[in-house]
Each structure stands twice: as C-alpha cells, then as structure tokens.
Amino acid sequence: MADDKKMVEAITSMEDDFAQWYTDVCTKAELISYSNVKGCMVIKPAGYAIWENIQKELDRRFKETGVENVYMPMFIPESLLQKEKDHVEGFAPEVAWVTQGGLEPLAEKLCVRPTSETLFCDFYKGEVESYRDLPKCYNQWCSVVRWEKTTRPFLRSREFLWQEGHTIHATAKEAEERTEQMLNLYADFCEDFLAIPVVRGRKTDKEKFAGAEATYTIEALMHDGKALQSGTSHNFGDGFAKAFGIQYTDKDNKLQTPHQTSWGVSTRIIGAIIMVHGDNSGLVLPPKVAPVQAMIIPIQQKKEGVLEKAMELRDKLGAFRVKVDDTDKSPGWKFSEQEMRGIPVRIEIGPKDIANNQCVVVRRDTREKITVNLDELDVKLGEILDTMQKDMYERALAHREAHTYEATDYEGFKKTIDEKPGFVKAMWCGDVECENKIKEDTGATSRCMPFNSKPIADTCVCCGKKAKALVYWGRAY
C-alpha cells in the first residue's frame, strides 16, 4: 500500500530540525507538492480545502463591513507600475515580466501583478467623480507573483494566493478608520477562527509597505520562536491619489483628493497554522478551519454491523464535517493518517463499543480519550471541538507569553535574541540606523510597535538616546 507508506513514514522531529519538520508536514499531510516550476507549489486538496475555509470565513466578515468583490487584470503595464515612486522602487526588482504575446514582442512590457494598487488607482480614476461615488470598498481574491530567490511552501513562493482589499474614501479620517477596522478584523479572525494569538501594531517606516503612509500588522509567534507577519493593512493617505490624479468634487463643488487603503492576507497564514499548532505527529488543525473535523475509524470493520454503525453515526453528525475511513487499511494506519492530516478528533467505534452503545473520541491535540454514549455524541462532539478550539488558542497564547522577553540594555537584548527564541520588547529612538544595526548584529527585525503600549524604559535599547516607541523585535519568516 504505497499511499500508506508515504503517509505514515516518520517525519523529522521539530526539535531536531524545525525547517525540515515544516516541509515534512507540508508534504506528508498532503497539503502541497513541489512543482516543476521553480518556486511555485501545487496546493493539493487537503491544503486547498483549508484555504477555501479561510476564504469563506474572511469573505463573510468582509462583506459584513460593506466590502464588495471585483476582479482586476493580472497584468500591469510598466508605465502604470512606475506612477508612484516608492511603490515601483519596492516592487520592480521582484516582478515577472511578460515581453511577448502570441508570436509578437509587446510594445510595452507587462508585469504580472505583485499587488494591485496601481490597477485599482487607474480604475478609481475613471470611477470617482463626486463625493457621491465614495467610499468604494473593493476586494479581490487572486494570485500574485513576486520573483523571490529562496522559496518555501506557503511562507515564500513566487506565486501565492491572497485577497487584496483596496478602498477609497472622501476623508483621511475615514481611511484611517478603515485601515484599523481591517487590521482588527484580521486579528479577530486569526484569534477566533485559527486559534492564533497575534500582536497588533504599527510597522516602522523601514518595514512599511512601499508607498504607504502607515502600515499596521498582526504578528504571530511560531513554535520555534520566530515571528510571522500574518496580515497587513495600509493607509496610503492621498499619496497614490495624487500620483494618479484621482480627484472628486465635494458637496460644495470643490475639488478634493481622496484617501486610500489596502489590506491583505495570503496563503502564508496556512504556514502559521502549521507552525503554531503542529507537533511531531504532523499537522493539528483548529476545529473551525479544519475541512474534516472528525474522522470515524471503524475497528474490526469487517464484523457485521460495524461499518453500518459508522455510516449511521456520520449521518447523525450532519452539523459537523465528518468522514468515515472505510479503506482496507489497518486501524493503526488510519490513526496515523488522521494524526498526520491534523483532523481535530477521531471517533473509534468497534463491536464492543457498539454493544455498550458508546464510542471513543480522541482529541488530536492532547490525545485525550473520551468515552461518549452514542445518544449524546452530537452534543458531546460539539463541546469537545469547542473546548479544543479554546485550548489550542490558550496554549498558543501561553507559548507566546512564555517566549516574550523584555530588554532595556543592548547587551541583554543581544543575549536574549541569541539565546531565547521569541519576541523581545525593547524601546527604540525612532532612527532607522538603530534598526539596521540591530538587524546586522542579531538578525532580528522590528516586528511592530504595539497599539496602546506602555514604555518599559526611557532610552533606546540600541543607542541610548531618548526613546520614542516600544517595539516587538524578533527573527522572522
């Protein structure tokens, strides 16, 4: 049974080699397959189903705030990409260029979108004339391309899937509110749905999006103590509108410049799910995002009535996403597969269980075995999944808190970064020189300046000058 073998081969343990553990989980849990197109991956059914659940939930939350979906071209003419100076500097070095269409060379080369601010601006220029046309809150689900040198599944690939929201507003205040609203929407989504606690904050100028006035971010801590930027929301002020000549007439018939935002979450977030929740048996999926929430595994399935009972249970659990593994593999193989795939619980049912009108529910995260009366299974399963979702969040939060440190002097800072993987909170003067020095000395970058934080010292941890902001620092994916 070739399939079985592939699935249950032991994976590298995360303590031995976290990077290898990660790629083992990606392939053995059948989330992806490497393709012959360098830097691009195939997202297999088990991986894509996670993305579909993320899409469905985020899309629902977007629409509740009045966002509408659209679709923009995937190509950007070179002259359009160049209209906003900072933006083109940020993206031009890493785009893929189409230079030939059909049998003819193109008069103007086109890049495959790395992000679509320029296309939305070009579109809004034709759509926005009066204050009555504002705001417009549009989003698209699509793939984008960035020609990365080193690539890793989900975390950094030359092509990835994402959503990009692009809004345009009459006033700076409205744009700022939308920027914050979407950042908070992302944070709530990560915490509620993916059981991933995040730090909400603002990026320093060095780390902000090319062309943005302010970038807000949610930062999550992976199991190995490295940070992962998990979603960003940008306030562009009127910079793009000015570069693209977008104007509107206000109620007093005066010409005004609108304000814009953009915000995005990508398939990268699947990397966060793997690295926050996974263990040495494979993937562990939070119940809310899991494509299959419970796998029923019949024991001695050839005995009369076992398979029928398994199917009957599945049909009674219609409120959940449940499957029966009725393949001819042994229960042991099936357990390993269910664990590798991260299916939140398995339900074991055999002749003895049936005789006792019970089954055994086994939680993927804790391995806890819970004997449940079959008459109560639908209620109990709901409770177990709810508890598991909460526990996974609490465990991830406890892990982050246990790996968040403070430093007030530079020697202590460097020592912590080197010896204790995690976030280090430290004060910063606001100068990019200190950020550059810290990165050079330690490999850590400023992850964010958390909202509403209290200073922990008066001086910059690096240069000793007067501090302006508390920063979360860390090595990052």
Q: Residues interacting with a second copy, by CB under 8 A?
A: 1-3, 33, 35-37, 40-45, 48-49, 51-52, 68-77, 80, 93-103, 109-110, 112, 119, 122-123, 126-127, 129-130, 132-133, 138, 142-143, 145, 147, 149, 158-159, 161
Min dist. Cβ of residue 399 to a second copy (A)? 31
Q: Which is nearer to a second copy, 146 or 223 (CB)?
A: 146
In single-letter form, the type of residue at position 94 comes to E
Coil, strand or helix: which one is 92? Answer: helix
Between 159 and 164, CB nearer to a second copy: 159
Distance CA 281, CA 360 (A): 20
Residue nearer to a second copy on the CB measure, 290 or 469: 290
CB of 182 to a second copy, least distance (A): 18
Q: Smallest gap, in angstroms, from Cβ of residue 108 to a second copy?
A: 9
Buried b (16+ CB within 10 A) or exposed e, 290-319: bbbbbbbbbbebeeeebbebbeebbeebee
Least Cβ distance, residue 70 to a second copy (angstroms): 5
- For residues 117 and 166, the answer to whether their CB atoms sit within 8 Å is yes
Minimum distance from residue 160 beta carbon to a second copy (Å): 10
By beta-carbon proximity to a second copy, the closer residue of 149 and 302 is 149
Least Cβ distance, residue 173 to a second copy (angstroms): 23
Q: Collect all residues with Cβ–Cβ distance below 8 Å to 21 and sequence separation of at least 6.
A: 11, 12, 13, 14, 278, 280
Report helix, strand or coil for 464. Answer: coil
**Nearest distance from C-beta of residue 167 to a second copy, angstroms:** 13
User: In a 3-state reduction of DSSP, which class is residue 286?
Assistant: coil
Residue 400 phi, psi (nearest 5):
-65, -45
Cβ atoms of 2 and 207 closer than 8 Å: no
**Least CB distance from residue 140 to a second copy, whole Å?**
8
Q: How far is residue 185's CA from residue 114's CA, in Å, rounded to a whole number? A: 23
CB of 68 to a second copy, least distance (A): 4
- The owner of tokens 């593999």 is 329
Q: Is 463 exposed, middle or buried (0-12, 13-18, 19+ CB in 10 A)?
A: middle
User: Of the two residues 18 and 97, which places its CB atom closer to a second copy in the complex?
Assistant: 97
Question: How far apart are CB 32 and a second copy at their closest, in Å?
Answer: 9
The full 3-state SS of 295-328, as one line of letters, equals EEEECCCCCCCHHHHHHHHHHHCCCCCEEECCCC
Q: 458 by DSSP, 3-state: which?
A: coil
CA angle 162, 164, 166 (to 5 degrees): 175
Pick the closer one to a second copy by CB: 125 or 437: 125
Cβ pair 423, 181 in contact under 8 A: no
- Smaller CB separation from a second copy, 126 or 318: 126
By beta-carbon proximity to a second copy, the closer residue of 1 and 432 is: 1
Nearer to a second copy, 94 or 312 (CB): 94
Angle (nearest 5°) at CA 298 between 296 and 301: 150
CB of 401 to a second copy, least distance (A): 36
When the beta carbons of 3 and 17 are compared against a second copy, the nearer one is 3
> In a 3-state reduction of DSSP, which class is residue 221?
strand
- What's the Rg (C-alpha) of the chain? 25
CB closer to a second copy out of 213 and 325: 325
Residue 344 token pair: 């939140």
Whichever of 105 and 440 has its CB closer to a second copy, that residue is 105
Q: How far is CA 391 from CA 58, 122, 187, 239, 384, in A?
A: 22, 47, 18, 44, 10
User: How far is the C-alpha of 224 from the C-alpha of 286, rounded, in Å?
Assistant: 19
Shortest CB 99 distance to a second copy, Å: 5
